[in-house]
């Protein structure tokens, strides 16, 4: 399928010339004779490229370009200005508003075709790249969802059974053994919370979740981490924890 081009010009002769040049190359062409009509046609036909005349009554090419770039659906469509002006300020203004190129009048067929072909190629590559990025993102989300599901399935029995074991073994184990068992319970709970947090992070990155600020005791969090490390490593390591109140050797 050939690309679709929207020609926006209020001069019938210019339109006929552009139709003749580009029609021979097999492009699908839509015609608008003013900016408002161009916006309406573009909403329906979704062109791959817009050739936009600068000098038009009521809504000139610059203002039309601004409106295209303000539209979420149309902003990515490349715009080539058609202009009789070779003033640097006019050309620069077109680029500043988001145009990708310009073609001067009277039209040179070979130059016009090359510029159109070049920007259509770039646009087609950009769309393919965007599609590929979206496909990769979808695969990544599906993989992460699968991994979270599998981790949940494996951690839940550990969490549930260790809690039951701790409750049943309070009078049967010594202090160190109870600490180790309590650590298993706490670690499995933390793992469950981490898996849930990963899902929230994915939703946040995708714009589906809003962060909620909450207060927590930083000193308590640090002490919990130190206690876990002490339980695992015993007397092999020592920690010196300094808070605002006093130093504490643990």
Distances (CA, A) of 52 to 141, 202, 221, 241: 40, 41, 61, 68
Q: Is residue 218 part of a domain?
A: no
| pTM to 2 decimal places | 0.65
Per-residue pLDDT band at 57 (split at 50, 70, 90): confident
Would you state the pLDDT for residue 250?
Answer: 52
Q: Is residue 165 part of a domain?
A: no
**Predicted confidence (pLDDT) at residue 31 exceeds the cutoff of 70:** yes
In which domain, by residue range, is 91 found? 4-107
| Token pair for 41 | 């046609």
**Predicted confidence (pLDDT) at residue 211 exceeds the cutoff of 70:** no
Q: What is the mean pLDDT of residues 148-160?
A: 84
Would you state the pLDDT for residue 40?
Answer: 95
Percentage of the chain surpassing pLDDT 90?
47
Q: Is residue 232 part of a domain?
A: no
Q: Is residue 185 part of a domain?
A: no
How many angstroms separate the CA atoms of 30 and 5, rounded?
A: 6
Per-residue pLDDT band at 244 (split at 50, 70, 90): low
Would you state the pLDDT for residue 151?
Answer: 85
State the total domains in the chain: 1
Q: Is residue 99 part of a domain?
A: yes
Q: Is residue 144 part of a domain?
A: no
Would you state the pLDDT for residue 234?
Answer: 66
* Higher pLDDT, residue 100 or 193: 100
Would you state the pLDDT for residue 245?
Answer: 54
Q: Is residue 125 part of a domain?
A: no
Q: What is the CATH number of the domain that holds 91?
A: 3.40.50.2300
Q: Is residue 22 part of a domain?
A: yes
Q: Please, are residues 60 and 36 in contact by the beta-carbon 8 Å criterion?
A: no
- φ, ψ (nearest 5 deg) of residue 87: -65, 130
Helix (H, G, I), strand (E, B) or coil at 103: strand
């Amino acid at each position: 399928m050939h690309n679709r081009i929207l020609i926006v010009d209020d001069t019938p002769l210019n339109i006929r010339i552009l139709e003749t040049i580009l029609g021979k190359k097999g492009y699908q062409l839509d015609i608008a004779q003013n900016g408002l009509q161009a916006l309406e046609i573009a909403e329906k036909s979704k062109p791959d490229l817009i050739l936009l005349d600068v000098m038009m009554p009521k809504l000139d090419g610059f203002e039309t370009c601004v409106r295209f770039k303000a539209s979420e659906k149309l902003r990515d469509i490349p715009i080539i200005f058609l202009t009789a002006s070779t003033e640097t300020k006019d050309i620069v203004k077109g680029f500043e508003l988001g145009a990708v190129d310009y073609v001067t009048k009277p039209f040179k067929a070979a130059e016009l075709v090359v510029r159109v072909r070049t920007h259509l190629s770039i646009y087609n590559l950009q769309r393919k790249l965007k599609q590929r990025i979206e496909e990769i993102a979808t695969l990544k989300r599906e993989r992460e969802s699968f991994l979270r599901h599998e981790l949940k399935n494996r951690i839940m029995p550990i969490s549930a059974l260790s809690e039951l074991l701790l409750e049943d073994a309070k009078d049967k184990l010594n202090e160190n053994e109870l600490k180790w068992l309590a650590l298993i319970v706490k670690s499995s709970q933390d793992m469950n919370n981490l898996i849930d947090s990963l899902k929230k992070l994915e939703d946040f990155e995708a714009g589906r979740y809003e962060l909620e600020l909450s207060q927590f005791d930083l000193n308590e969090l640090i002490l919990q981490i130190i206690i876990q490390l002490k339980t695992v490593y015993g007397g092999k390591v020592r920690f010196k924890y300094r808070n605002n109140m006093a130093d504490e050797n643990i």
